Amino acid sequence: MKNKDSRGRLSAGAARTWVLVALAVVALALAGWWWTGRSAADGRDAAASAASGAAGAGRPAGGRFGRSGPQPVSAARVQQRDMPVVVDAIGSIAAANTAVVRAKVSGELKAIYFKEGQAVKAGQVLALIDPRPLEIARDQAQATLARDQAQLENARADLARYKDLVAKEAAPRQQLDTQQALVRQLEATLLSDQASVANAKLQLSYTQVTAPIAGQVGLKQADLGNNVGPNDANGLLTIAQMQPAAVVFAVPDARLARIREQLSGKQALPVQAWDRERRVKLAEGRVASTDNAIDATTGTIKVKALFDNQDGSLFPNQFVNVRLQLDVLKDALVVPAAAVQRGAPGSFVYVIADGTVTLRKVQLLATDGDWTAVQGALKPGEQVVTDGADRLRDGGKAEVITAPAGGASAPGGRGRNRGAAAASAASAASDR
């Protein structure tokens, strides 16, 4: 009986084993079927890709760098003309003179005779300080002067009498000497009194506050009824001399020799002041002087220029862009700044003629805005590449294209944006 149960348990265990084996076989079969389908799909995709590649074998692979024909570029012609040597800098406008008007005597501010922002002349009365205390001081000084003057006249009369008595030997010589000393003492006192009267009148004149210089008045710093005095930090007002106006800017110290040469030769160095965006020219002037030392930190030296500023368009502390013209290159070869390339050969340009590109080395002389004066094997009228030079090589082929209508670049973009747009358009047309 016990053997029979053992055989039953063995049979059940064997059945479970065969079931597990069957499930494993089914799973393997399903996995093989899935893998076979995946391989077939990949094969179809590869075939489709190959067919597509074969169909497009007759054209370039696409993209401008895959072109087999001439490279599209933008170009401009070399010019021969006068080229100004210009130094660009930034600066701020400063008044030629600035004066803080303070009260020279203490007292109550009784009247104000100016309007804020108005133009005033030198010597014009601007305000009045209560004059009564100083009028009293003047009267006292004049009274003292009158008293001492009377004493002096009396002493001089006595001196004349003593001289007559001494001559007649009716008075001692010592009395005459004493009287002469008294006269000299009173004469000195009279001089002191006269100085006191003059000082009192001067102090009284200070009650009328006048403009020390001509210029534009700022905002008032004291109101009627305030007590003002010489020690007020802000004073009564500020006057800025706006005509001429000055601008102070820094230039590299390498330019100092040329600037000093021009100044010593009494030759004008033109200076232009432009607004922040370099779109509007605010004023034209000339260099007046330079600083007496170079800034060792920045390697620059400060230069001061003066502008007539007749229209009053320049204000103190106004930011401006400065263009200093140092010289003029006569009949210089001029190319667009975008045409100048830099690399292992140094500075160079690509010249295009009859579809062939030639590398020409150049030496940079000066730059003014979008144009650069160069020295090299160039001729006026030759075409130099301004855009697309990164895809060229010496002796390569190129085709000059024209920017499409409406493709002008925005301010600041210059010619490179137009050339890039044109090159992209040409590449897209070739791909189609």
Q: Does the pLDDT value for residue 184 go beyond 90?
A: yes
Q: Closest by alpha carbon to 156, among 122, 130, 184?
A: 184
Inter-helix orientation angle 173-205/132-167, to 10°: 160
- Say if strands 208-210 and 215-217 run parallel, antiparallel, or are unpaired: unpaired
Judged on CB neighbours under 10 Å (0-12, 13-18, 19+), 280 is exposed
Q: Does the pLDDT value for residue 35 go beyond 70?
A: no
Q: Spell out the CATH class of 71-81+330-431.
A: mainly beta
CA angle 307, 259, 305 (to 5 degrees): 15
Domain with CATH 2.40.420.20 in the chain: 71-81+330-431
Task: Please give the Cα distance from 111 to 96 (Å, whole number).
Answer: 29
Domain with CATH 2.40.30.170 in the chain: 88-95+245-328
Quick count: other Cβ atoms within 10 Å of Cβ 217? Answer: 20
Q: Does the pLDDT value for residue 250 go beyond 70?
A: yes
pLDDT, tens digit (0-9, with 9 covering 90-100), for 40-82: 555 444 444 433 333 333 344 344 444 557 888 888 899 888 8
pLDDT, tens digit (0-9, with 9 covering 90-100), for 367-421: 887 888 888 888 898 889 988 888 888 888 888 886 433 333 333 333 333 443 3
Q: Are 276 and 319 in contact (CB under 8 A)?
A: yes
Contacts of 110 (CB under 8 A, 6+ apart): 128, 129, 130, 224
pLDDT, tens digit (0-9, with 9 covering 90-100), for 167-182: 888 778 888 889 899 9
Dig out the tokens for 44 from the structure.
């179809």
DSSP state of 397: B
pLDDT, tens digit (0-9, with 9 covering 90-100), for 263-322: 887 778 899 999 888 889 999 999 988 888 998 899 999 999 999 988 888 888 899 999
User: Which pLDDT score, from 0 to 100, does residue 199 have?
Assistant: 96
Q: 131: cis peptide before it, omega within 30°? A: no
Letter for the amino acid at 170?
A
- Say if strands 398-400 and 71-77 run parallel, antiparallel, or are unpaired: parallel
User: Is domain 105-228 annotated with CATH 3.40.630.30?
Assistant: no
pLDDT, tens digit (0-9, with 9 covering 90-100), for 321-358: 999 988 888 888 889 988 898 888 889 999 988 888 88
Phi, psi of 118 (to 5 degrees): -80, 160
The SS3 call for residue 407 is: coil
Beta bridge partners of 343: 346
Q: Are 251 and 244 in contact (CB under 8 A)?
A: no
Q: Does the pLDDT value for residue 17 go beyond 80?
A: no
Place of tokens 């003029």: 328
Phi, psi of 426 (to 5 degrees): -65, -40
Task: Please give the Cα distance from 178 to 180 (Å, whole number).
Answer: 5
User: Which pLDDT score, from 0 to 100, does residue 411 have?
Assistant: 32
Write down the CATH number for the domain with range 88-95+245-328: 2.40.30.170
Task: Please give the Cα distance from 41 to 344 (Å, whole number).
Answer: 52
What is the total residue count of the chain?
Answer: 432
Task: Please give the Cα distance from 255 to 261 (Å, whole number).
Answer: 10
Task: Please give the Cα distance from 40 to 46 (Å, whole number).
Answer: 10
- Say if strands 346-353 and 356-368 run parallel, antiparallel, or are unpaired: antiparallel
User: Which pLDDT score, from 0 to 100, does residue 12 have?
Assistant: 57
The SS3 call for residue 408 is: coil
Domain with CATH 1.10.287.470 in the chain: 105-228
Task: Please give the Cα distance from 265 to 250 (Å, whole number).
Answer: 22
Q: Closest by alpha carbon to 112, among 228, 213, 214?
A: 228
Q: Closest by alpha carbon to 321, among 277, 376, 382, 387?
A: 277
Dig out the tokens for 30 from the structure.
């399903």
Contacts of 266 (CB under 8 A, 6+ apart): none
Percentage of the residues of the chain whose pLDDT score is greater than 70: 80
DSSP state of 413: T
Letter for the amino acid at 392?
L
